[in-house]
Amino acid sequence: MRDRPRMGSAGRRMAQTDFLTWSMEQDPALRSTIVAVIALDSAPEWDRVVAMMDHGTRDVPHFRHRVRVPGSRR
């Protein structure tokens, strides 16, 4: 079994389900496409949007994790 990528700065390994999904994304035929469209009455206050995203990702730190593949520079 190949070495699973690590997530986040703590070096915690991905769950098997996360690894399966991440691996599938490498193949364009298996890649899932997600699109969201929001109709707004006016332009959003970007400082507020950024603050809300920052707050949300601090509440759920898993959303801030990045994949690091063993042996790669990333």
Q: Please give the pLDDT value at position 1.
A: 45
Assigned token pair, 1: 């079994």
* DSSP label of 7: E
Q: Is the pTM of this model over 0.85?
A: no
Of 46, 39, 42, 66, nearest in space to 54 by CA: 46
pLDDT tens digits for 28-46?
Answer: 888 777 788 889 899 999 9
User: In Å, how far are 5, 36, 60, 66, 74 from 33, measured between CA atoms?
Assistant: 22, 10, 23, 19, 24
Q: Please give the pLDDT value at position 50.
A: 94
